[in-house]
Amino acid sequence: MSTPAVAVVDSKTPGNVGTIARAMKNFGLSELLLVDPPAGVMEEHGEAWGFAGRAREDVLANAQVVDFDDIVENYYTVGLTATTNEDCRKHVRFPFFTPDELAEDLAGLEADSCLVFGREADGLTNEELSKLDAVCSIPASDDYPVLNLGQAATITLYELRGLTVEETQLPDREHERAEEAMLDRLYDQFDDLLDSIDHPEEKRAKTLRMARRVFGRAHPTQREARSLLGIFRRATNHPELAGVPRDPADREDGSETADDAASETATDRPAQDD
């Protein structure tokens, strides 16, 4: 499929046009069409120019002013509307795609497509929507379903990013869990640390199991595990760095805090198997 164009109809504020241009640049779209745009929308150093950011020199500067009917004649058109208020008996605003469903629809489309955004205050009219091929609406709270024009465009274009942004441009999200041998060394070193601080023998197995569960959920990388291993080793060799003595009798004033009492009460209960 070709990358969709974006049309903004009768925007009252140049700033929203600039915001949409910026969102287009963020998510790999470049063809901006303006229907009845506000005066000065493409002026250098104007309001739209300021909101567009790095999209000002390509997306905004290359925007085309067109007629609404030209868009209808030349594109598969999708009208964006905040509310539908209709059911299967009416077809001006129903049925409608959500943005993620729209991505699936456009993925298999070979025709040129255009996302059509309406006015800030009242969106696209029913007459305009009736000329378009499809409708898209963003689900929101019933208490306040109407989104700002720039917000609606950003949400919609974000959902289309799988179609418009090259995979190589996406951030690397690979997470390589540390090798099991490294994690076993980490657990062994943690056991040595417990020994160095004289952790109660009867609580040792439960504490080790707790540590294994915590690191199991965290999936530390090799580098993270190696760093923790070094910290545990240093603490093992210098148990005086481990912090406050666990035995209340070892405190300077011999007092027991509420946290100490709560900790002892909780840990003295019979251990249960996981």
Query: Which ranges of the chain have pLDDT less than 70?
Result: 1, 82-95, 167-175, 239-274
What pLDDT does residue 70 have?
A: 96
What pLDDT does residue 26 have?
A: 94
| pLDDT, tens digit, 9 for 90 and up, residues 160-191 | 998 888 765 556 656 688 999 999 999 999 99
What pLDDT does residue 55 have?
A: 95
| pLDDT, tens digit, 9 for 90 and up, residues 24-52 | 999 999 999 999 999 989 888 899 999 99
Q: Give the chain as a 3 state SS string.
A: CCCCEEEEECCCCHHHHHHHHHHHHHCCCCCEEEECCCCCCCCCCCHHHHHHHHHHHHHHCCCEECCHHHHHHHCEEEEECCCCCCCCCCCCCCCCECHHHHHHHHHCCCCCEEEEECECCCECCHHHHHCCCEEECCCCCCCCCCCCHHHHHHHHHHHCHHHHCCHHHCCCCCCCECCHHHHHHHHHHHHHHHHHCCCCHHHHHHHHHHHHHHHHHHCCEHHHHHHHHHHHHHHHHCHHHHCCCCCHHHCCCCCCCHHHHHHHHHHCCCCCCC
